Chain A
Amino acid sequence: RKEVEQDPGPFNVPEGATVAFNCTYSNSASQSFFWYRQDCRKEPKLLMSVYSSGNEDGRFTAQLNRASQYISLLIRDSKLSDSATYLCVVSTGTASKLTFGTGTRLQVTL
């Protein structure tokens, strides 16, 4: 079983739609949680950290359920520019080593 699992998609949604991505992780000792965004042939960029209380950044909302070892990302009012691969990332250990999911691809269309 992979340490971090995501649905690879692709998710094809029209502009303005709401879309949700889910992710599960297997290491209960994981300490920090993130969503990264990766555009084609580019480096991953931090989208947002994920906190147990849930957090929101504009159109993006992230949730963490430690009991179920489950992370989610909700994107409201999708824009064409949101088209990318979204990586679920979990950090463990004192050196904060990152473990990446394989990513969920989102394609927003007109």
Chain B
Amino acid sequence: NAGVTQTPKFQVLKTGQSMTLQCAQDMNHEYMSWYRQDPGMGLRLIHYSVGAGITDQGEVPNGYNVSRSTTEDFPLRLLSAAPSQTSVYFCASRSNGQGSHGYTFGSGTRLTVV
């Protein structure tokens, strides 16, 4: 049982490049979310999904797209990378019947935009 798997673990992009951060979970969780973590800011919600085919914006969605074609996968796409998107990105998931159990997080993707 791998849990939540994020790839890549590290990435350096040039300003203006696009890329996709991958997130997959093998726990059959309905809810999935993407967060970014910046020093002194705490984790902030980018986008989230309550099931396949359903996505919605979080607190800081600008510059990012998501899709949820399957229950397992929730990729995050950076459309045109900017230095302000340098951050650590975490994907998380949980079952919709476990509100009190919290989310399980992936190990993160450290992104640097130069």
Contacts and interface: CB of A to CB of B under 8 A. Distances in A.
A34 B102 contact: yes
Contacts of B104: 46
A80 B81 CA distance: 40
Nearest to A50: B100
Interface stretch (A13-21, A69-77, A89-97): A89-97
Contact of A98 (B33, B41, B56, B108): B33
A32 B58 contact: no
Contacts, number: 59
Interface in B43-81: 43-45, 48, 50, 56, 58
Interface residues of A, number: 25
A96 B42 CA distance: 17
A95 B50 contact: yes
Interface in B68-114: 90, 92, 94, 99-108
Residue of B58, B92, B102 with most chain A CB atoms under a 10 A cut-off: B102
Interface of B: 31, 33, 35, 40-45, 48, 50, 56, 58, 90, 92, 94, 99-108
